Amino acid sequence: MGTSGLLLLDLQFLQHGRVFAGSPTCYFGLVTVTEAMDALGLADENYVHRLCRSGALVARKIGRMWEIDPDSVELRRLRLERKRSSAIHRHEDRQRRRAEAAARYDA
């Protein structure tokens, strides 16, 4: 991404006027790795770094610090939430089928 891309990214955040108050490490419209990690319910900062490097989160690296788009964090959080809930439903369905099979076997 060239300079014009960074300028465009900055202008988009200015347009939306996103400000995240309450965090001294937070920049105008962007979140830090720690804040993204907390929002995603993760325990490992390295995983968030990998998500940034791979492009799974919209982010840019300034020096040693990642600045992450909060919308991409929210989309990732929703995707993880859907994935977790469907895994729970699959587990419940397996348990129900096992119980039904055991009842048929015992009968």
pLDDT band at residue 107 using 50, 70 and 90 as cut-offs: low
pTM, entire model: 0.58
With residues binned 3-state (H G I as helix, E B as strand, rest as coil), the percentages for the chain, rounded to 5, are 65, 10, 25
Mean pLDDT of the chain, nearest integer: 77
pLDDT at 53 over 70: yes
Are 56 and 69 contacting, i.e. CB atoms less than 8 angstroms apart? no
Q: Tell me, what's the pLDDT at 28?
A: 55
Q: What pLDDT, in 10s, does the model give residues 55-97? A: 999 999 999 999 999 989 989 988 888 888 888 888 888 999 9
